[in-house]
Chain A
Amino acid sequence: MEDMLFYDRLQFAFTITFHYIFPQLTMGLSLLIVFFKGKYLINNIEKYNNAAKFLMKIFAINFTMGVVTGIPMEFQFGTNWAKFSELTGGIIGQTLAMEGMFSFFLESSFLALFIFGEKLMGQKLHFLTGFLVFLGSWASGWFILATNAWMQHPVGYEVLENGKFVLENFSALFTNPWLLPAFLHNQIASVVTSSFVVASIGAFYVLRNKQTEYGKLFLKTGVIFGLISSVLVAFPTGDWNAKNVAEYQPASFAAMEGIFETEEAGAEIVLVGQPNMVEKKLDNKIAVPNILSFLTHQDWDKQIPGMDQFKEEELPSNIPALYYSYHIMVGLGTIFIGVMALALFFLWRKKLYTLKPLLWIIMFLVPFPYIANLTGWYTAELGRQPYLVYGLLKTRDGISPTVSSGNTLFTLLGFVALYMLLGLLFLVLVGKTINQGPKPQTH
């Protein structure tokens, strides 16, 4: 049983991690596309239109990869997590179906129109199609987050005698107090990723002295959007999210902050330290006193319950993984603010385009927003363990009882091989698109 649970979780973790590489870029990139297209409508300068169309090509490749890697996610609910689907399908089925019916169709239909229909529609309608792609991709995030918010903080449900969850209040799914902060945090984080990607492409063009007009445009836009979104992802959205965890999942909050023992007054914030699960303490700790209490409750001396206040079964099942995921996300977020603030300073001093070391840093920083986004999701998901639906349904009770661990391992190996192939294809496609650049080819 434990083997089955382990492989089912491993397979889901692998497939969702690979899948989320793509939507996190498309959601943020759609905003930048609308920005460039809007600037073109206002200023009528062709380079903004070319920039929007170029980014839409990158969007389309990511969107397609997202669709391909999303298919196994859909199937896994039925194959690996049949019990979970059977018990909660009446609730999560609503939001997941809406994601497919409304958001996916909106996004894919207008994506095709944006790519093919510029001449036919004219510029204002072309802008509108871009805006509808943006709306579709953000609505997709909204419905997925509504599903996850219900799993993190279940509301508006009733449990029948056969153990099935049914919806008692439909609107409660969307007024769930967990949803809005999680949605905003997630969407702004996707803007961080796309800003870094756009800035990185810009740095690449400037460093190679190729398409420099667009290189400078992408650098400037990426740096400005990157700094604004990096700040917003920390405050207020990240702060709001952390307060939600402290209120609704206090055991997870203690674990992710590494609070093993409750302090009498005022909890410290840990900057560095390694969880020692044998002695129940943090090794080599560097901490600042009372800051966590202030950030969470705006009270320097407010007590925050540590892990010693909870029963063993109430605590997350993998505390070190949760602690490290959270701290990697926060650490990277801090680095992003620093780098983008520095880049904006040099942009203001008109030195950014010639400052090669900083351009190299911006170019090679591109994997890190992806890592930050993924570790953010690991924090949310590991924090909810050992539950699938927090406080109500344990993860071990949601797996398919008839699917053997050997079967899951076999398909996991198959996924690894196919995803390597897809990953390679993705890199070739994106590489070719970036190499062609946004400048229209003259024949």
Chain B
Amino acid sequence: MTGTLISLVSILIGIIAANIFGVFYKKYSFGFIGNTLVGVFGSIFLIKSFGRLGFDPWSIMQNESFNITLFVVNCFVSILGGVLGLVVAKLIYKKLNK
């Protein structure tokens, strides 16, 4: 059950990461609205794609105990998802609007 909450927390972390990255690297920023949307999809994409390696919400809560190390890995991947999402989205955007 708590696993479901962790998956939502991961998404929020992705949103925050994308917005902070956008502030520091303006050339990748889509503004607050765009960064937030990209942060959602970036973090979901990475967690869904690579979480099965052992840091998805279910592994974090396995045997009813909270594994802090896996949670930190999960958060880190969410941050990465938000940041990479922004970089990739900007590249696609530039390609499509040449």
Contacts and interface: CB of A to CB of B under 8 A. Distances in A.
A323 to B, nearest CB: 33
A123 B53 CA distance: 43
Contacts of B96: 116-117, 119-120
Contact of B33 (A71, A80, A429): A429
Contacts of A68: 8, 11, 40
Contact of A429 (B36, B41, B97, B98): B36
A136 to B, nearest CB: 16
Given A57-B33, A119-B96, A410 B1 contact: yes
Interface in B49-98: 92-93, 96-98
Contacts, number: 69
A120 B97 contact: yes
Contacts of B11: 68, 71
Interface stretch (A25-33, A257-265, A310-318, A411-419): A411-419
Nearest to B31: A432
Contacts of A414: 2, 5
Interface string B1-37: 1111101110110010000000000000000110011
A108 B44 CA distance: 13
A296 interface: no
A76 B97 contact: no
B97 A116 contact: yes
Contacts of A418: 5, 8-9, 12
A432 B5 contact: no
A371 B12 CA distance: 27
Contacts of A433: 33
Contacts of B4: 71-72, 75-76, 79, 411
A415 B40 contact: no
A61 interface: yes
Contacts of A72: 4, 7-8
B12 A403 contact: no
Contacts of A16: none
Given A64-B40, A67-B44, A408 B1 contact: yes
A60 interface: yes
A278 interface: no
A354 B5 CA distance: 48
A206 to B, nearest CB: 24
A64 B12 CA distance: 12
Contacts of B12: 418, 421
Interface in A55-94: 57, 60-61, 64, 67-68, 71-72, 75-76, 79-80
27 contacts: A61-B37, A64-B36, A64-B40, A68-B8, A68-B11, A71-B4, A71-B7, A71-B11, A72-B4, A72-B7, A76-B4, A79-B1, A79-B3, A108-B41, A112-B92, A116-B96, A117-B96, A408-B1, A411-B4, A411-B5, A414-B2, A414-B5, A415-B8, A421-B12, A425-B15, A432-B32, A432-B33
Given A68-B8, A116-B96, A432-B33, 5 more contacts: A67-B44, A71-B7, A72-B4, A72-B7, A403-B1
